[in-house]
């Protein structure tokens, strides 16, 4: 006998799978798929038991065909009814999954995702659904690419400032300095603003990167970790938040299962580059930019110095991120972060700015 609960779980399984498939490939936004699932849910939720049993055989025949297609795209690791039930439980705390997607790690527990995505993403990556189906987003990628977007903007503004200087140098007009001052002042401010924002974004990325690797390991190995280890991996110890220095050192010890850290960042006397730049020199500049007071690092500095410090910090963050990755993993640098390649990220930012200009021109 076909039961209402089994049919409901099967429908939930299909809702999950087809929400991950783009419309053009028969996903949930496809009219036939959406109407079939809607009719099924209405039957399960609203029909009387007699009406349900009359429709059940034909309904399950249609659903079984959809299940066969679903299994070819995302082979299930568990019984589909169990997956459907788990998905319903997941939705209780993630009601807006159509807008914000589903955690990759949660999906991977129940489905073989390798047919759709060749590469492995971190647990917390958000897999797009509905109109965002087939897309995957990782928060730290946004921060990293944003940082290099501002990085290139700062370089561009400094280049403009140099051009103004050259123009002024060769101008025969003795009053030209006062004439170009308003323009030079704006470009000066822009250069400093973009460089300062880059440093803030780079620091935010690095801390997020450390946190995300820790979270990924926690979620993948939760059952084998002690409570104190779990707490450290979410950035706390005895209920108090850990500093970034402590998170770097303690988290990679847990991930690697080692007693002595390979990265020593807690004792400032043992700091080596690039962590000296990240956690000491430029951290003070970052802290001043976030909550300045006159006793802290100066933020009123020349635009050339801002760009020099930004450039140094950018290299330090990329080098530090690569070292932290290798301290935690034997795998290649993360593809989803453009392999932490400074030059490649710089090129992506250049292309983003170019495309932004093209888009602006398309609508003016």
pLDDT at 197 over 90: yes
Q: Where are the domains of the chain?
A: 4-137, 139-362
Q: Three-state secondary structure along 221-245?
A: CHHHCCHHHHHHHCCEECCEECCHH
Dihedral over alpha carbons 180, 183, 185, 187 (to 10 degrees): -130
Residue 11 and residue 84 in contact, taking contact as beta carbons nearer than 8 Å: yes
pLDDT tens digit string along 9-56? 999 999 999 999 998 888 988 888 889 999 999 999 999 998 999 898
Categorise residue 340: left if φ over 0, alpha if ψ from -120 to 50, beta otherwise.
left
pLDDT tens digit string along 248-306? 999 999 999 999 999 999 998 999 999 999 998 766 666 666 666 665 667 778 999 99
Task: Give me the pLDDT at residue 296, please.
Answer: 61
Task: Give me the pLDDT at residue 289, please.
Answer: 65
Q: Return the half-sphere exposure (C-beta side, CA atoms, 13 A cut-off) of residue 348.
A: 17
Residue 309 and residue 278 in contact, taking contact as beta carbons nearer than 8 Å: no
Mean pLDDT of the chain: 92
- 291-323 in b/e form (b: 16+ CB < 10 A) is eeeeeeeeeeeebeebbebbbebbebbbbbbbb
Dihedral over alpha carbons 221, 227, 232, 234 (to 10 degrees): 70
Task: Give me the pLDDT at residue 98, please.
Answer: 82
Contacts of 343 (CB under 8 A, 6+ apart): none
Element (H, E) at 313: helix 303-328
Dihedral over alpha carbons 277, 326, 134, 150 (to 10 degrees): 10
Q: Which residue has the tokens 């993630």?
A: 94
Q: Return the half-sphere exposure (C-beta side, CA atoms, 13 A cut-off) of residue 345.
A: 24
DSSP secondary structure of 61-98: HHHHHHHHHHHHHS-BSS-HHHHHHHHHHHHHH-TTHH
Going by pLDDT thresholds of 50, 70 and 90, the confidence category of residue 210 is: very high
Rounded Cα distance, 243 and 299, in Å: 23
Q: How far is CA 17 from CA 3, 14, 211, 313, in A?
A: 21, 5, 30, 43
| Mean of pLDDT values over 146-168 | 95
150 burial type by CB count under 10 A (0-12 exposed, 13-18 middle, 19+ buried): buried
pLDDT at 95 over 70: yes
pLDDT tens digit string along 306-353? 999 999 999 999 999 999 999 999 999 999 999 999 999 999 999 999
3-state secondary structure of 257: coil
């Amino acid at each position: 006998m076909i039961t209402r609960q089994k049919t409901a779980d099967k429908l939930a399984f299909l809702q999950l799978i087809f929400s991950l498939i783009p419309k053009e490939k028969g996903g949930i936004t496809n009219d036939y798929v959406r109407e079939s699932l809607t009719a099924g849910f209405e039957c399960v939720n609203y029909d009387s038991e007699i009406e349900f049993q009359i429709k059940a055989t034909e309904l399950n025949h249609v659903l079984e065909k959809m299940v066969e297609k679903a299994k070819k795209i995302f082979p299930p690791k568990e019984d589909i009814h169990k997956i459907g039930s788990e998905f319903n439980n997941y939705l209780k705390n993630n009601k807006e999954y159509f807008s914000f997607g589903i955690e990759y790690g949660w999906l991977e527990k129940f489905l073989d995702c390798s047919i759709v995505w060749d590469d492995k993403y971190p647990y917390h990556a958000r897999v797009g659904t509905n109109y965002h189906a087939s897309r995957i987003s990782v928060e730290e990628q946004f921060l990293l690419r944003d940082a290099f977007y501002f990085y290139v903007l700062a370089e561009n503004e400094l280049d403009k400032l140099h051009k103004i200087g050259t123009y002024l140098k060769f101008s025969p007009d003795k009053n030209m300095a006062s004439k170009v001052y308003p323009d030079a002042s704006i470009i000066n401010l822009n250069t400093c603003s973009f460089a300062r924002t880059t440093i803030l974004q780079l620091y935010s990325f690095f801390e997020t990167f450390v946190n995300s690797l820790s979270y990924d390991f926690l979620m993948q190995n939760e059952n084998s970790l002690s409570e104190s280890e779990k707490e450290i991996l979410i950035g706390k110890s005895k209920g108090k938040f850990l500093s970034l220095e402590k998170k770097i050192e303690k988290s990679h010890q847990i991930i690697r299962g080692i007693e002595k850290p390979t990265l020593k960042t807690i004792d400032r006397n043992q700091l080596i580059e690039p962590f000296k730049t990240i956690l000491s020199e430029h951290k003070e500049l970052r802290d001043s930019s976030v909550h300045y007071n006159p006793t802290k690092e100066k933020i009123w500095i020349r635009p050339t110095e801002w760009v020099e410090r930004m450039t140094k910090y950018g290299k330090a963050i990329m080098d530090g991120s690569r070292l932290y990755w290798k301290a935690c993993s034997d795998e290649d640098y993360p593809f989803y972060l453009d392999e932490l390649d400074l030059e490649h990220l710089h090129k992506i930012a250049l292309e983003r700015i170019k495309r932004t200009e093209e888009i602006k021109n398309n609508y003016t």
